[in-house]
Amino acid sequence: MEYRNLGRSGLKVSTLCLGTMTFGEANEGSFMHGVGCTNETSFAIMDRALEAGINFFDSADVYGQDGLSERVIGDWFEDRGHRDDVVLATKFRFRMGEGPNGGGASRLHIVRAVEESLRRLKTDRIDLYQIHMQDIDTPEEETLRALDDLVRAGKVLYLGASNYAAYRLVDSLWTSKSASLERFVSLQAQYSLLVRDLEREHVPLCDRFGLGILPWSPLAGGFLSGKYRQGQEPPAGSRMEMWKQRYKGFDKPRNWRILAALEAVAEEIESTPARVALAWLLQRPTVSSVIFGARSTEQLEDNLQAAELKLDPAIVTRLDEAAELELGYPYEFMKHVQGRW
Ligand SMILES: NC(=O)c1ccc[n+]([C@@H]2O[C@H](COP(=O)([O-])OP(=O)(O)OC[C@H]3O[C@@H](n4cnc5c(N)ncnc54)[C@H](OP(=O)(O)O)[C@@H]3O)[C@@H](O)[C@H]2O)c1
């Protein structure tokens, strides 16, 4: 397993980060609509991930009813005693309670949210505390001051952003700098061979300002594992069988073409589509660690192999071309004149 600095910070994280959104979520009518895994499987996945060198776990207060994902991780820490072997990341911002302050990025909600996450996680610190999505109803400076206080109090060590517009992220970095507040060291965002929108603004931004990118849904929720087939119903028990709207969004000629190119490469190099899709992301600039999901130890074993897979530049180019992003204005114009933007 390779370890990289998280952005420009001194924190070392494994290049694969274990996503825990599915933990404890075995019931229908749950956050994952029944396509999660039991506590027992979640424990087995964490045991094996740690054994394989993964030192980075990502959760959020909203994963699972009443913070179930965080509770499963907290129980695992208590049972196994591995708290200091893990760089623990979680998030706040979405609705966790009733009333006007039951969500958001206000000082009031942040102070409540962090205490509740610490209690569920059975720990006295969160290593990477991330805002799950920007909150345009709260001044960024209020959010940053509240987070800065948490760092000073030792409850949180590093700060991360997730799902931010580029303009807002630059503004946030500027606010941190001008007001001498802790700044975000990472950006967690959707990024995969199918979804490359980040490359217009966020990738250059993270490169310039030293943020580490943490791609989420790197397998497009399992689509890039190759188990879905054009014109056929999703296999029984798979995520896309339950998440019909999401599947509809993926069921486009461009995405099937990308999948075909990915499968061809995987066959040629005797690998699997999931491994190649993860390895492609690991070779993108500014990516610190890829947050993947696994609902069984079999899926985990497949995905773990990506950490050792180095794709030849010619193969990366083939995948880049198959998954070409429509840049739009003004990026297309700039690329035409200078080859980059
Ligand atoms: N910040 C955000 O807004 C945000 C949003 C989403 C996720 N996240 C984070 O990112 C993590 C990963 O997201 P994700 O679960 O969408 O990622 P993903 O890696 O794209 O999808 C994981 C799913 O794909 C299927 N799968 C995984 N490996 C497979 C394999 N080798 N073969 C066949 N199927 C395989 C499984 O689904 P099935 O078996 O059910 O089909 C699994 O649950 C989450 O746990 C969370 O930590 C963050």
Residue (of 45, 122, 48, 75) closest to 294 by Cα position: 45
Nearest CA to ligand 1 atom 22: 293
Point out the ligand 1 atom lying closest to the alpha carbon of residue 22. 45
> In this predicted model, what pLDDT tens digit does every residue of 286-309 receive, in sequence order?
999 999 999 999 999 999 999 999
Burial degree of 75 (CB within 10 A; 0-12, 13-18, 19+): middle
Q: Which residues contact 59 (CB under 8 A, 6 or more apart)?
A: 20, 21, 23, 69, 70, 73, 88, 89, 90, 91, 121
CA angle 173, 157, 221 (to 5 degrees): 75
User: In angstroms, what is the span from residue 224 Cα to ligand 1's centroid?
Assistant: 10
d(CA 55, CA 61): 20
Nearest CA to ligand 1 atom 27: 294
Active site (catalytic) residues:
63
Structural fold of domain 3-338: TIM Barrel (3.20.20)
d(CA 140, CA 182): 12
Residue (of 165, 214, 161) closest to 191 by Cα position: 214
User: In angstroms, what is the span from residue 238 Cα to ligand 1's centroid?
Assistant: 11
Point out the ligand 1 atom lying closest to the alpha carbon of residue 218. 20
d(CA 98, CA 101): 7
- How many CA atoms, within 13 angstroms, populate the side-chain half-sphere of residue 20? 33
Pocket lining for ligand 1, CB < 6 angstroms: 19-22, 35, 58, 132, 162-163, 188, 216-222, 225, 227, 238-239, 274, 291-295, 299, 302-303
d(CA 335, CA 341): 6
Point out the ligand 1 atom lying closest to the alpha carbon of residue 302. 31
Q: Is the whole-model pTM more than 0.95?
A: yes
Query: pLDDT (tens digit, 0 to 9) for every residue of the chain, 341 residues total?
Result: 999 999 999 999 999 999 999 998 767 667 777 788 999 999 999 999 999 999 999 999 999 988 999 999 999 999 999 999 999 999 999 999 999 999 999 999 999 999 999 999 999 999 999 999 999 999 999 999 999 999 999 999 999 999 999 999 999 999 999 999 999 999 999 999 999 999 999 999 999 999 999 999 999 999 999 999 999 999 998 999 988 888 989 999 999 999 999 999 999 999 999 999 999 999 999 999 999 999 999 999 999 999 999 999 999 999 999 999 999 999 999 999 999 89
- How many CA atoms, within 13 angstroms, populate the side-chain half-sphere of residue 296? 8
Contact 186, 212 (CB under 8 A): yes
Contact 226, 316 (CB under 8 A): no
How far is C-alpha 331 from the geometric centre of its chain's CA atoms? 26
> In this predicted model, what pLDDT tens digit does every residue of 43-87 receive, in sequence order?
999 999 999 999 999 999 999 988 999 999 999 999 999 999 999
User: In angstroms, what is the span from residue 338 Cα to ligand 1's centroid?
Assistant: 37
Contact 282, 215 (CB under 8 A): no
